[in-house]
Amino acid sequence: MVPFHPRPPWLTGRLQTLRALRWPLPASLPEGHRLWLPLPDGDALAAMLHLPPGPGPDRPLAVLLPGLAGGEDDPCLREAARALLRRRFPVLRLNLRGSAASLARSTSHGHLGRPEDLAAALAALPPALTRDGLLLAGWSFGAALMLLLLGRQAAMPGLPRILGAAAISPVLQPDLSHAAIDAHPAFGRALLAAYRREVLAVPASDLPPDLRQAALDARSLQEFEARVTAPRFGYPSYAVFCEVNRPAAALPRIRVPTLLLIASDDPFIPAASMAGTVWADCPAILPLRTAGGGHCGFYDRRAEALSIRAMAALFRGLAEGAAEAPAAAALDAAA
CATH of domain 13-171+247-334: 3.40.50.1820
H-helix or E-strand spanning residue 285: strand 285-290
Q: Convert the pLDDT of each residue in 180-216 to its tens digit.
A: 999 998 899 999 999 999 999 998 878 899 999 999 9
Q: Is the pTM of this model over 0.95?
A: no
pLDDT band at 307 (very low <50, low <70, confident <90, very high): very high
Give yes or no for a contact between 1 and 335, defined as CB atoms under 8 angstroms apart.
no
Write down the pLDDT at residue 206. Answer: 82
- Is 288 in contact with 330 (CB distance < 8 Å)? yes
pLDDT confidence of residue 58: 81
Q: Tell me whether strands 61-65 and 134-139 are parallel, antiparallel or unpaired.
A: parallel
Q: Percentage of the chain with pLDDT > 90?
A: 85
Each domain of the chain, given as residue ranges in start order, spans: 13-171+247-334
pLDDT band for 257, please (50, 70, 90 cuts). very high
pLDDT grade for 174, boundaries at 50, 70 and 90: very high
Tens of pLDDT, residues 88-132? 999 999 999 999 999 999 999 989 999 999 999 999 999 999 999
Per-residue confidence band for 324, with pLDDT thresholds at 50, 70 and 90:
very low
